[in-house]
Structure formats: structure tokens, C-alpha cells
Amino acid sequence: MTVPLDKIRRRVRALTVRAAHPGTPPAEAAVARAMAADLTSRYGLDQLDPVPRPTAAIAPAVVHWMAGFSPSGKQSRAWCRCGYGTSPRATEDRALRALMDSHPLDAAECGLCGVVYPAADWVKFRAFLQVLKDPVTGDEFAMCINPRTCKAVGF
């Protein structure tokens, strides 16, 4: 199975942002830089600028996860965190199915270590993942909330 290069590029960007963040501990930053360098060389991305400058033609990547429900009279609407919502449905279950049918949701996956959390219950995986935004490109990515449990850190 081959990994799409855009996924590798996003992972390298996420690692680079994590390494450059002022709140990242020095040991964790060093591991993130080393992993980014390893992925860059392993997949032949030597010419890759890990933090490309945004352009008007490229829209930033947004994490599409279920955000919640809102009442609409006696019915409910389901919402993605990007702001997309369904038309009112009789039950929350139907609203969620309509959202997933009309607006594909992303897998609950850590952009750094690659761990995929079961998204069957969208409320539960939020306890393990957070969404971070790259301040340079505006891209969003998911990351383990607890760096000690993130397999990318190696603690």
C-alpha cells in the first residue's frame, strides 16, 4: 500500500509546526524535527518546503468532524465544524446520517503519529484528539491531545 504524498507533506508540515511552536518542550521538538527530516528523505521530498507560503489559489485544509446538533423547531440539524449543516430532520440520528451522506467527514486520525481513533461515536474520540491550525498556511490537522500518548513523540 502506497501512502499519498500529500498526506506525507501534511505530516511533515505538522511535525515542523510542532517543532517550531514555542510551547513545545525541547526534547519533543527535537523528535518532531528528526521525524520530519526522516519522512522528507524517505519519500524523496528533498525539494519540499515544509511550511509553504499560502497562495490565493490554494484553500487551507480544514478538518471536517461532526460538531454537534442544533434544534430546529421539533427537528434537529447536524453540523460539521466547518459550518456546513443539514436541513432539519426528525431525529438527531437522521440528521447525522444526512450530514455524512452529503458532506464527507474526515477520519479521526492523528496527523503526527497516524493513529486512527474509531469514529463510530464522534463524541468519544474528541477526548483523544485536538485540531490545530498551522499559523503560516492556515491548514488544520488533528493531533493527539496528550503528547505522552502520541506514538510520534516516543515517550
Output the tens digit of pLDDT for each of the chain's 155 residues. Answer: 566 778 888 888 888 888 888 778 888 888 888 888 888 888 887 655 545 444 444 567 888 888 889 998 899 999 998 899 999 999 999 998 899 899 988 888 887 788 887 766 777 777 788 888 888 778 888 888 876 777 765 43
**Boundaries of domain holding 82:** 66-101
Do residues 122 and 81 lie in contact, with contact meaning Cβ atoms separated by under 8 Å? no
Number of domains into which the chain is organized: 2
Q: Are residues 39 and 76 in the same domain?
A: no
Distance CA 44, CA 63 (A): 26
For residue 11, is it within any domain?
yes
Q: Are residues 43 and 72 in the same domain?
A: no
pTM equals 0.56
Do residues 64 and 80 lie in contact, with contact meaning Cβ atoms separated by under 8 Å? yes
